[in-house]
């Protein structure tokens, strides 16, 4: 049966949605939530059906298509398409099997990941997939199979020779070591293309922070050219379709506030495998508000990352680091980018903790190449930083990617002060992140916090702990209102 296309001027965000009037749906014996195959002669796409009760929304003889469907089919208003009923994809059966605790095969996981990548599953079906993995766990073989499937269903960029990479599993505000490590390694002559994410629950991701300095949304062709020229890049991985199922799974995990171990492992390793990295350093922060809360949890994650790496023929090294408090002084894209550039410029006031951690990580990566003996990597990294070679390399990367105009720091400010005198014994990462986000980070590049005090510092009553920056009074007031739940500092 053929229908005239109506452009609904609505985007679902991912799922392919089509709408029929209730009369047409009844003729075809279709119900809301059924899958239909929409064909235009050149191509076809599986959509989830919604039903229109009114002729004003979608009239009989017409089919309303969301933006994702229009784009993929390449059709416009008034174009004629045919509609056919199609059953649920085979992957739904595999998800049901996982809910019952069955171990899934490589082929079954490929079915699921391919359907997630191509938006053939509903939000409910994807949620059950995530929940099944969270409840029943993933075996090592399943994690490896999921990783391979994520790589196979996206693009892959191959670089010649030794290719390095690093990743942090997150949770620590201001932990912007990547933007210091990358230019140090590239200045040493090694290839280290960095595809980074944007913030999901944090005040800034590496891509958000780098965007204060240079363009990060670049084509695969442009990225390859930049890496050939500078040995490196710091770009947004989402623009390159690398392991795209990963981002779609994260969308489901975020509102549920869950992060199944197997999916975390597959997520990290798939992104690294997609850029053919053969030496990878993983940063696992350990602390009360991060993914690895105890030494036991951190060591278990370390073991799993190394086992997955071995199965994929990737050299993986792990650093278990301090995740008990923020790193650096700035929290939020612009403020974090200023911390990074202060370190690269060898500024005397640059945050020591950020500089030290970046140098240790760069040292480990240099040793992983086999060109430097164990224990000598940090020394070499420090020499590169002090000599100015790392800053020169960073400026090369910024120029190659396209220099951006510096954002403006939020003009609306509020100083958060100590409620009593004493010693700072703890800083709550979750509260610090939340205050910065409520103030507008990362969407507002100039929003965030500047920390004046860290754990171990002595403070007097009414001394400034940190300053909040926002682009308008409304967001500043919201941040101040959130402070009623706690400032994030424990003083004893």
Residues carrying an active site annotation: 259
CA distance 24 to 21: 5
Other beta carbons less than 10 A from residue 258's beta carbon: 14
C-beta neighbour count of 200 within 10 angstroms? 13
Q: Please report how the helices 261-274 and 295-311 are oriented relative to each other, as an axis angle in degrees rounded to 10.
A: 40
| DSSP secondary structure letters along 144-210 | HHHHHHHHHTS-----SS-BEEEEE----TT--THHHHHHHHHHTT-BEEEEEPPPSSSS--HHHHH
Given a contact cutoff of 8 angstroms between Cβ atoms, the answer to whether 138 and 264 are in contact is no
Within a 13 Å sphere around the CA of 251, how many CA atoms are in the beta-carbon half? 17
Those residues whose C-beta lies under 8 Å from the C-beta of residue 8, and which sit 6 or more positions away, are 19, 64, 65, 66, 67
Residue 483: its H or E element: none
Q: In three state form, how does the secondary structure of 365-394 look?
A: HHHHCCCCCCCCHHHHHHHHHHHCHHHHHH
Q: Count other Cβ atoms within 10 Å, centred on residue 407.
A: 18
Could you give the CA distance from residue 399 to residue 387 in angstroms, rounded to a whole number?
Answer: 20
- Positive or negative torsion for Cα 345, 346, 352, 353: positive
CA geometry: angle 141, 143, 145, nearest 5 deg: 70
- Give the pair of three-digit tokens for residue 479: 């941040």
DSSP 8-state code for residue 292: B
- Distance between CA atoms of 339 and 209, rounded to whole angstroms? 10
The closest alpha carbon to 176, from 389, 471, 442, belongs to 442
- Three-class SS state of 468: strand
CA distance 37 to 100: 30
Q: Please tell me the distance from the alpha carbon of residue 65 to that of residue 5, in angstroms, as a whole number.
A: 7
């Amino acid at each position: 049966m053929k229908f005239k296309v109506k452009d609904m001027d609505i985007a679902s965000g991912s799922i392919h949605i089509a709408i029929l009037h209730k009369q047409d749906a009844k003729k075809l014996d279709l119900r809301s939530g059924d899958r239909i195959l929409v064909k235009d002669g050149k191509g076809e796409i599986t959509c989830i059906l919604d039903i229109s009760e009114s002729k004003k929304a979608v009239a009989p003889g017409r089919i309303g298509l969301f933006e994702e469907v229009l784009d993929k089919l390449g059709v416009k208003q008034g174009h004629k398409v045919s509609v056919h009923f199609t059953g649920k994809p085979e992957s739904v059966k595999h998800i049901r099997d996982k809910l019952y605790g069955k171990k899934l095969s490589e082929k079954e996981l490929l079915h699921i990941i391919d359907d997630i990548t191509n938006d053939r599953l509903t939000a409910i079906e994807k949620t059950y997939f995530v929940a099944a993995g969270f409840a029943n766990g993933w075996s090592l073989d399943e994690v490896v199979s999921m990783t391979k499937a994520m790589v196979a269903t996206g693009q892959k960029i191959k670089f010649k020779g030794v290719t390095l990479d690093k990743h942090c599993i997150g949770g620590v505000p201001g932990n912007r070591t990547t933007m210091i490590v990358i230019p140090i390694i590239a200045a040493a002559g090694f290839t280290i293309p960095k595809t980074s994410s944007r913030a999901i629950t944090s005040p800034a991701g590496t891509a958000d922070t780098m965007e204060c300095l240079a363009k990060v949304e670049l084509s695969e062709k442009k990225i390859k050219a930049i890496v050939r020229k500078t040995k490196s890049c710091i770009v947004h991985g989402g623009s390159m379709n690398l392991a795209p199922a990963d981002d779609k799974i994260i969308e489901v995990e975020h509102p549920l506030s869950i992060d199944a171990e197997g999916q975390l492992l597959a997520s990290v390793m798939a992104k690294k495998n997609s850029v053919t990295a053969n030496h990878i350093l993983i940063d696992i922060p350990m602390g009360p508000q991060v993914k690895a809360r105890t030494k036991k949890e951190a060591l278990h994650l370390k073991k799993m990352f190394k086992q997955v790496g071995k199965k994929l023929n990737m050299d993986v090294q792990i650093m278990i680091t301090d995740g008990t408090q923020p790193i650096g002084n700035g929290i939020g894209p612009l403020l974090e980018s200023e911390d990074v550039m202060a370190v690269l410029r060898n500024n005397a006031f640059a945050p020591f903790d950020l500089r030290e951690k970046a140098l240790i990580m760069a040292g480990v990566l240099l040793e992983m190449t086999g060109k430097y003996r164990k224990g000598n990597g940090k020394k070499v990294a420090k020499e590169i930083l002090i000599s100015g070679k790392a800053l020169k390399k960073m400026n090369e990367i910024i120029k190659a990617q396209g220099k951006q105009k510096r954002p403006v720091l939020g003009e609306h400010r509020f100083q958060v002060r100590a409620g009593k005198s004493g010693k700072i014994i703890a800083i709550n990462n979750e509260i610090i992140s939340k205050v910065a986000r409520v103030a507008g980070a990362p969407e507002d590049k100039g929003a965030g916090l500047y920390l004046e005090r860290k754990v171990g510092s002595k403070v007097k009553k009414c001394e400034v702990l940190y300053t909040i920056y926002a682009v308008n009074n409304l967001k500043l007031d919201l941040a101040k209102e959130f402070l009623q739940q706690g400032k994030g500092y424990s003083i004893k």
